[in-house]
Amino acid sequence: MLLSLTELQEMIESSVLEFLANEYDFIKRARSLDADHGVAPQVWRAFAEMGWLGLPLPEADGGIGGRAMECGLLMRAFGRHLVVEPYLNAVLCGTRLIAEAGRAEQRAEWLPELVEGRRRVVLAHDERGVADPWAPRNARALEGGNGFRIAGAKSIVVGASGANAVLVSARTETGGVALFLVPLDAPGVTVEACRMLDGARAADLRFDDVQVDRSALLGEPADASGVLGRIIAEAIVSECWEACGAMKAALEQTAEYTQQRVQFGKSISSFQVVQHRLAEMAVCCEEALAACQLAALSIERDAASAVAAAAMAKSKVGRGARFVAQEAVQLHGAMGVSEELPIASYFRKLLAFAQRSGGTAWAGQRYGELMLLSDAWRDSRTLPSLARA
């Protein structure tokens, strides 16, 4: 796909890449991994100073007004440098939900400090045994007195440790899905920190009849399923962009390694079989990027298409990510699983991506179902005979 970037998009992409190249090499990334809660304070502060913590917010809220393409370009650069700070779950989910669904007083209380990096809110949505990101959750919120009692558990909440609050999705007595701003130190909240496959920090959360005031309910009316589903879909697309950055970096490092590695007196990159494998990796990278660009443009044109765009991108990028990760490790030989080389971290990053948000196979099935329901499959250029039937 030939795509010309706007001046703003070029500026965002170049500034992110330049900053990360100078300030976030593999050694400095290791410091973020070892930092308290997996967030290096100076890095998060720099993100705020660069304006990235407000990128998806309107200018009226102190943001830049970035849309799906701008967020995607930033995430692609993050993926290239394996950024472990929880930008996706904190900014593209937590901050954005407050901006879009919060009441005026909630926006005034939270947004300025979130954009300035002085506070952090993440979305707590995933639950054990529920793969579908848009399926109803088991966590419950019962109304009583002047507030709600929340009961349930959330799993693998990225960036939860050290956050000021979490946005908890829970089913109400009316059957809708509501979001609640819950401080992590509220009575009844249990935080069990863990690490993910790529080394980033997350936590399993449990809510044992946590009592919150009515003011903790995000926005009005209480059913937030519409805005929540759309922002989750757009976050999945952004995560696909991040995977594209990691795939491209893995390809480049593998190509460089095969040029340096000598076997039988020749660089192994001179062998035709290696050239073919590198070429297949390059094709996967380009196809994945095209899927992300298509998804971002679809969302910008029609926000209602976000779920279909996310399922399509996840299916395409997930399959490519797994292939590129495995080929990169195999072409590196035993060195591919050595923690001293960045390629092992790219391998783990891409495998973790392929498994999240329901996984690649599930996303493909969901996309097929959506195409059948909408009859959009008849527009397919790869199924001409069926489309004409």
pLDDT exceeds cutoff 80 at 235: yes
Written as six digits, the tokens of 55 are 């990128």
Greatest mean pLDDT range, 56-65, 118-127, 133-142: 118-127
User: Per-residue pLDDT tens for 292-323?
Assistant: 999 999 999 999 999 999 999 999 999 999 99
Among left, alpha and beta (phi > 0; psi -120 to 50; other), residue 117 is left
What are the Cα distances from residue 254, in Å, to 143, 171, 337? 56, 47, 13
H helices of 261-355, where?
272-301, 306-332, 342-355
Q: Which two tokens stand for residue 219?
A: 């926005």
Q: How far apart are alpha carbons 178 and 18 in whole angstroms?
A: 40
Backbone torsion region of residue 154, taken as left when φ is above 0, otherwise alpha when ψ lies between -120 and 50, otherwise beta: beta
pLDDT mean across residues, the chain: 92
Burial of 157 (0-12, 13-18, 19+ CB in 10 A): buried
Asked if pLDDT for residue 386 goes beyond 70, the answer is no
Contact 88, 158 (CB under 8 A): yes
User: CA-CA distances (angstroms) from residue 36 to 89, 162, 176, 388?
Assistant: 17, 8, 36, 59
pLDDT of residue 2: 59
Cα radius of gyration (the chain):
21
In tens, the pLDDT along 7-61 reads 889 999 999 999 999 999 988 899 999 998 889 999 999 999 999 999 999 999 9
Cα angle, residue 110 at apex, residues 105 and 114 outer, rounded to 5°? 155
Average pLDDT, stretch 262-287?
Answer: 95
